Structures are given as C-alpha cells and as structure tokens.
Structure 1
Amino acid sequence: MTFLWEQGVPVIKLDMIATLALAILLLLFGRVLVNRISILGRFCIPAPVAGGLLFSILMLVLQQSGLLLVKMDTLLQVPFSLAFFTTIGLIASLRLVKQGGKLLIVYWFFCALLSLMQNVIGTSLAQVLGIDPLLGVLMGAVSMEGGHGAAGAFGPEVEAMGVYGATAVAMAAATFGLVSGGLIGGPIAKYLLNKHNLHSSELEAVTVEGAPNSVLETKEEATTEESEYVTNEVSAHSFLLHSGVIAICMSVGLWMASWLKGTLGIALPSYVGAMFFAVILRNLNDQLKVVKLHTPTINLIGDVCLGVFLSMALMTLKLWELVDLAIPMLVVLGAQVLFMILYCLYLVFPMLGRSYDAVIMCAGMAGHGLGATPNAMANMKAVTEKFGPSTKAFLIVPLCGAFLIDLFALPCIVWFINYFAH
C-alpha cells in the first residue's frame, strides 16, 4: 500500500493483498448490514452488493469532491471467479437434475429472446430520444446481458465507426446494469414466493437444536450406497482435498479455453471451461467413485469465493461514470430494468412452470440479464440460503448465462450494429 499525490489529489494505491483484505472486510460488513437492516434481509439483497456498493458510493463522493482517490489491484478477481464456477460444476450431479432438460431449453430460449428485446428497446428509444441508435445497441444486449466484457469489446468498435464516447457509454451502462441486476433479483423472488406460496421441493425441514424453527437443513436424495458424508462438518483434510480438486479443474479449464481459441477459434470464457470440466469430473466420479465429494465443503469454498469476487467487483465500480450520463441514457437504462422486472414476473416465471425452481431462475435471469453471471449466482444464493435449495437452477442458470446465451446474443449484437452502422 502506497500514498502519493496526483494532480493535487491524494491517492492511495492498494496492492492485491490489501485489495483482498478490503474486499473481505466489505463482505463481512455487508453481512452485518443485511442482518441489521430489515429491508435488505427482507428483499434478499446479497451481502457483497450491500457492502461493495456502499463503498463504491463513498468512493464516488470522495472522487467527485477531489478529497481522495483509491486505486486497487484486482488481479485476484479472476482466480476467485474461476474457483466459484468450478464449485458450481462439482455439485452439478446429473443424477439430481435428470429432469431438468426441458427447463434448460426453455430458459435458454428466454435468454435469447431477452437479448433481442434489449436491442429493440435500446435502439427504439435511442431513435425516439434523438441519439445515435448505435448507442442504443450499446445500452442493449451489449452492456446488459453482455456486461463489462462485451462493453469493453464492442464499445471501441462502435467508436471506430465515428460514434464519439461509445466506449464510455457502454461501460457506464454495464455498471448501471451490474448494480441493478444485483438489486432487483431478490425482490422479484420474494414477491413471487409470497404471492404463490412456493417452497423448495428439495428441502426437508428440521428444527435445529437451539435455533429457531425457521432454520432449515437440506438433505440430498441419494441412496445409502451413493450418499456423501453424513455429517455437514467440514474438516481440514476435506477442505484441502476439495481445494486440490478445484485447482485441477481450474487449470484444465483454462487449458481447454486456450486450446479451443487457438485451435478452433472458439472464444470460450475461462470460467466456463473450468465449470464444464468440473461437471464432467463430477459425473464421472459419481460412476467411478474415485473421490468422495462432500457437498458442504464444496458449498463452503464456493460461498467464500463468490462473496470475495463479487465484493471486489462492486467495490471497484467507478460510479462517477454514471454521474455524467445524459437524461436520454438514463431513460433507456431505466426502461431496460423495468422490462426485466415485467419479463420475469409475467412471461419467464409462468413459462418455466410457476415453481420454486422457476422463482430462483427468475432471480438468476435478473442478475445476468442486466449485469453478469456472478450477479445471478449471488441473487440465487441469497434467496436459496433463506428459502431452500434449487439444484436445477444452479445448473441451468450459469450454463445459459455464462456460455449458451452467447450463441445467440453475439450474432444478434453484430446484426444490430451492422444494420445501424453509418
């Protein structure tokens, strides 16, 4: 950690260890906020969103007033992200989701339709408001479903077409979407659960000694021969063993992504490669029983990695990029958020079967449909921690949100850009 002055403004530079320490502190602080502030807990706001976003707002005030600038090294974001998605793959036993095939196709279809509608909304409102429709594309599927990755890729391309400030608009819109996606998923799920009185079909309620009746424990449907450890206790040996398995999956996943890009020209996000390999490894292991995988240990590692990654991502948001947004841009982005809410409530939820799994998938779609897949996972995690598990949702949402959606969204984005090109 170093202190210096840049153009008369005091600057604090945090190395990757200090940045990690700050992310963990904000994550813990976010949990305190969610536990202490009833409205946050009531609407299932993820702890990383509460802590990280509050810090971003503080940084906005300090930066705009010229009092202080904090620069952070986010190098550790990638490994935490990879580790989290690997844990998702390791709990994706096809034995438990064998009836999820139809839901996967339906959810994928609505992800594809969403990317189309986001571009239609963005370009239509851009024309009505008198701004370049290419900016509407950037405020559509590029920054909403695509997130900061797609915004960083397509923004410079549109700017090269003569649209000044396109990259800044795309990144600011992605920031808006990231924050919005983390805020609306929980309330959407809470509304649907209350209205339709839904409960997890995988949940076996038990009263934990010394705890309120609302404390619930989960029990997998498995035979005695196939069951995992009976105890939920996580030992040092179990933690080390599963950390090793996760590290292997991460390494192989990175290699797979690099090989596909270099050999076949297929750009596969690295975390998707790790998750896919983990799925393969999990289901091979279910048959061969080489390693006894312990779901509570995997969930513990996944929870920590997701919390730290998302806290780090949110605390480094440059919210001052939103301060200078023109009113037309705010109108377009507000319309995208409103559409997402209505889309989930009145189209996606009914078509997914009006079930508990459908509720969790709606929370996930709100997360990755406006922000990024980690948002979706955080939204779903916040809800399932309170109301019970949904194995189908935790397999289907990341598969579609992180990879399958790109099979439609990217060609859709390219078509809209070419159609409206000057």
Structure 2
Amino acid sequence: MIFNTYETIALACLVLLLGYFLVKRVRLLSRFNIPEPVVGGFLVALILTIVHQIWGMSFTFDTDLQRTMMLVFFSSIGLSANFARLVKGGKPLIIFLIAAGVLIAIQNTVGIFGSMALGLDPAYGLIAGSVTLTGGHGTGAAWAEILTEEFGIPGALELAMACATFGLVFGGIIGGPVASFLLRRLHKQEIPEDENVDDVEEVFEKPVYRRKINTRSIIETVTMMSICLFVGQYLDELTKGGAWRLPTFVWCLFTGVIIRNSLTHLFKFKVADESIDVLGTVALSIFLAIALISLKLWELADLALPVFILLVIQVGVMASFAILVTYRMMGKDYDAVVLSAGHCGFGLGATPTAVANMQAITSHYGPSHKAFLIVPMVGAFFIDLLNNSLLKVFLSLASYLHA
C-alpha cells in the first residue's frame, strides 16, 4: 500500500497526537522522558509489522516529504545559530567532539573484534559499528557499497539499513532512561527552575512558547527556510562528485547560518526566533514520525543472530559511555545530563533523535542552552567528517584482519 503526500502527513500527525496522549497517560513513558514521536511512531510501526506478518501487506510512505522535513529542521538550526551564541560553544564543543570521536573508535573496536568472536567477517563489525550507528542511514548506504567491493559481503545495503533502523529506535528509547538515571545523581538545586527561564534565548529547548508569533514572522521564517532549501540543493548539485561534496542538509544548515548572521549583524534585522523554534520543532516531529512509521521491523527480525547480539552490545556500550564518559567530560551538571541524552540520540541514531531526546528532558526540567548549541552543530556536521575519517582507519584494520 502506497501513501501519497497528504496521506503520509495526516498519518504522521495522528502518530504524534497518539504519542502525546500516551506519554501524558502512561507514567512510565513520562518518567523516562521517552520522546512522543518515538512512542507513537514505534507503536504504529509495530502494528504495521503485525499486519505485514499476518496479511503480507507492505506500506510505503512519501520519502520526499520526510526528506523535506529533515531539511527544514536543519535549516531552522542554521537560522538559530547566532555567531554571538556559537562563540559560547568554544571549549565545551571541542570536548564533546572528542567524546564523540572516542565513542566512534569504541563502536568500531567492539564491532570488529565482537564480530570475529562470533565467527563473522570483521566487515560486519563495521556495519554494526559507527557506519550505521553514529553514521545513520545515509552513511550506512554509502559505506555498504564500499564494503561490498572490499569484502564481497552479500546484502550489505539491506543489512546496513536494518542496523541503522535498530539504532534509530534504540537511540530514541535509551536517551530518557539514561538522563533519568543521571538526574538522580544531581542535587535538586542544580536543576534550573522553569519559571526563571529567559524564553527569548530558548532555541528548540522547550516546545512551549510564551512569546507571540504572528503572520509576518511566520512568512519571514518560511521565506528564509525556503531560501535555505533552494540554496542547499543547488550547492549539493554543484559539488556532487567533488572534494567539497557534503550532505544536502549540511548545506542547508550553513546557508541558514549565513542568512541569520548577515541579517542580525550586518542589517541589524531582528530575526523571529520564536517562529523558527515553532516551525523547526514541527518539522522535526513530523520527520521522526514518518521515519519511524516507515520502519520495516520485519527486516530487523531477519538479522543474523550474531549481528543482533552485536547491536545489543552496542546499545549497552552507548548507555554506559554516556553515563561514565560523556556526563563526566561535560562537567557532571544539568547541561551534561542533557548532552548525554543527546549523545545517545545521534550516537545510535541521528541528530533529530538527539534533539527529540533533549526536548523530552528540557520540557520537564528546564532549558539547556549549552546542549542545544553543541549537539546540533556536532551531530549535523562535525560528526560526519570525524566518523568518515576514523572509518578509513578501521577499514584498513578490518582489511588486515580479513586477510
């Protein structure tokens, strides 16, 4: 069954409303800060899997809409990136990037040697490592072709997509419980009180807004986002196949950064942050809903048991790393808790999942400007460069062990 654009967005919105309803009604979900899109999307994905298993029906959704929502979200991240705030990222951003790099190395080490211990080719360890977990579906698809050429792995693409799907689901599931565990370590006074929040500076931190938005601010924001998408796709086509090739969403993000800071610092124009927040959050929620209902969970059931074992181990590694390393490296405070939840999101899944994890925390306990500054920048750009650089090293190791 094929869902067109209108049907896809209608179902995605119903999924989000279902998620809001369940999180509000089921105390366990609220307690562990599970994001609403993950709750509703995963439940619908389970239902669609049951329908597939019983009646053999498959479901296809509008992936163009999903991709557009992702680009809108990253454009909104760029449009929110005031250079005056980015400078504040400074040292913590570098520390967080180092932590992310260490996790990549651990994921690939566990993957390669774990696969060998389970009797698999070490290349399978890369697929069940940072290729699909930190890298996500896009990096997984790109590296599957390389690994097929290097090692002759059959069905590498399908396996990569299944592993990335597994990571996306569990990246959204474990972020809340990890944060809840860490929050119990904090003294109550260390958690910022919600009523003292300066909502003018909130950027994707809380989906509840106090400032008014109007028709003009929405039109201004939609105009800027449209320019980001247009320029981003143009630059993607222009650099395709060259040394400057970057994912489209990165170009959209950079375009947003340039537009925002040109308007703010050169033309002294006040950008409507509240409108950017609202539209960006809506795009994020719809993207996650479509991504999750598009999951073919029966493909995960077809994973070989050793690969499944590797993925379960990687989930444990991610949770342990967030608690023992990320939290400590980032200062053992409330910001560190939110950063740890975000790291679970893009360390196993994707940056939108990381942001959803952080929103689930900040909607209950208050904003974290540092986390919402650092995670999107690292997760949307730096992590891809770092991951691909380190993967070349581990590819050489896998080739040596394969021989």
* TM-score computed with the length of structure 1 as normaliser: 0.87
The match for 1:240 among 219, 232, 253 is 219
Query: Is 1:41 paired with 2:34?
Result: no
CA contact (8 A) 1:182 1:376 kept: yes
Counterparts of 1:416 and 1:96 in 2: how far apart (Å)?
Answer: 35
Partner amino acid, structure 1, of 2:360: A
Query: Is 1:109 paired with 2:70?
Result: no
Query: Is 1:99 paired with 2:88?
Result: yes
Query: Is 1:187 paired with 2:177?
Result: yes
1:323 corresponding residue in structure 2: 301
Counterparts of 2:117 and 2:201 in 1: how far apart (Å)?
Answer: 54
Query: Is 1:249 paired with 2:228?
Result: yes
Counterparts of 2:10 and 2:175 in 1: how far apart (Å)?
Answer: 27
1:380 corresponding residue in structure 2: 358
2:381 corresponding residue in structure 1: 403
Q: Which sections of structure 2, spanning at least 5 residues, go unmatched? A: 203-208
Partner amino acid, structure 1, of 2:135: G
CA contact (8 A) 1:254 1:270 kept: yes
Query: Is 1:73 paired with 2:55?
Result: no
Query: Is 1:168 paired with 2:158?
Result: yes
> In the comparison of the two structures, how many residue pairs are matched?
393
The match for 1:357 among 331, 335, 338 is 335
Secondary structure of 1:360 counterpart? helix
Counterparts of 1:239 and 1:348 in 2: how far apart (Å)?
Answer: 37
Q: How far off its partner does 1:231 sit?
A: 6.6
Counterparts of 2:354 and 2:70 in 1: how far apart (Å)?
Answer: 13
Q: Which sections of structure 1, spanning at least 5 residues, go unmatched? A: 1-11, 207-215, 223-229
Q: How far off its partner does 1:146 sit?
A: 0.8
Counterparts of 1:390 and 1:346 in 2: how far apart (Å)?
Answer: 20
1:55 corresponding residue in structure 2: 44
1:219 corresponding residue in structure 2: 199
Secondary structure of 2:287 counterpart? helix
Counterparts of 1:420 and 1:231 in 2: how far apart (Å)?
Answer: 53
Secondary structure of 1:71 counterpart? coil
CA contact (8 A) 2:193 2:365 kept: no
The one-character-per-residue Cα deviations of 1:354-407 (angstroms, maximum 9, x if unpaired) are 122221111111001101111111111221222222222222112211221222
Q: How far off its partner does 1:317 sit?
A: 0.5
Counterparts of 2:68 and 2:188 in 1: how far apart (Å)?
Answer: 36
The match for 1:418 among 383, 396, 401 is 396
Counterparts of 1:412 and 1:348 in 2: how far apart (Å)?
Answer: 19
The one-character-per-residue Cα deviations of 1:130-177 (angstroms, maximum 9, x if unpaired) are 111111111001111111112211223323332223222222111111
The structure where helix makes up a greater share of residues is 2
Counterparts of 1:243 and 1:217 in 2: how far apart (Å)?
Answer: 27
Percent identical pairs in the alignment equals 39
Secondary structure of 1:140 counterpart? coil
Partner amino acid, structure 2, of 1:316: S
Counterparts of 2:295 and 2:103 in 1: how far apart (Å)?
Answer: 25
The one-character-per-residue Cα deviations of 1:200-243 (angstroms, maximum 9, x if unpaired) are 88x6643xxxxxxxxx7543479xxxxxxx97112122211211
Counterparts of 2:152 and 2:210 in 1: how far apart (Å)?
Answer: 62
Counterparts of 1:274 and 1:87 in 2: how far apart (Å)?
Answer: 9
2:251 corresponding residue in structure 1: 273
Flag the 1:252–1:346 CA change in 2: closer, same or farther, 3 A. same
The structure where strand makes up a greater share of residues is 1
Counterparts of 1:267 and 1:189 in 2: how far apart (Å)?
Answer: 36
Worse-superposed segment, 48-57 or 274-283: 274-283
Counterparts of 2:275 and 2:329 in 1: how far apart (Å)?
Answer: 34
Partner amino acid, structure 2, of 1:398: P
1:302 corresponding residue in structure 2: 280
CA contact (8 A) 2:197 2:367 kept: no
Partner amino acid, structure 2, of 1:20: I
CA contact (8 A) 1:268 1:403 kept: no
Larger radius of gyration: 1
* TM-score computed with the length of structure 2 as normaliser: 0.91
The one-character-per-residue Cα deviations of 1:283-308 (angstroms, maximum 9, x if unpaired) are 23332344322222111111110000
Q: How far off its partner does 1:345 sit?
A: 0.6
1:31 corresponding residue in structure 2: 20
Partner amino acid, structure 2, of 1:61: I
1:150 corresponding residue in structure 2: 139
Secondary structure of 2:250 counterpart? helix
Partner amino acid, structure 1, of 2:302: D
